[in-house]
Amino acid sequence: MPAMKLQAAVVKPGGFVIVNIADVKIDNKVVPLERWTVECGKAAGLAYKGQEHPYELNYRFGLPGDGVAVEAVFLFQKP
């Protein structure tokens, strides 16, 4: 929450905050970082505008097979 409050404080009205984050799995339990980010952004006074999938992460970092990781970015706007 402190990071989102800081972003809300420094961005100009009408400006955007873009956050690249993904849920993670730890000990077979999903940690819902995406949901928490949206909740924190809203609590900080930012309007949630949705998510985009603008790019693929071509580096693999141990991903099995030929798959390519894709991450979303979450868009917020300061009213």
| Residue spans per domain, the chain | 2-77
Give the residues across from 30 on adjacent strands.
25
Enter the pTM of the model. 0.78
Residue 68's pLDDT is 59
User: What is the rounded average pLDDT of the residues 60-78?
Assistant: 70
- Residue 75 in contact with residue 18, Cβ under 8 Å? yes
DSSP, collapsed to helix, strand or coil, labels residue 22 as coil
- Residue 42 in contact with residue 9, Cβ under 8 Å? no
pLDDT-derived band at 74 (thresholds 50, 70, 90) equals very high
pLDDT, tens only, 34-66: 999 999 999 999 999 999 876 555 555 555 555
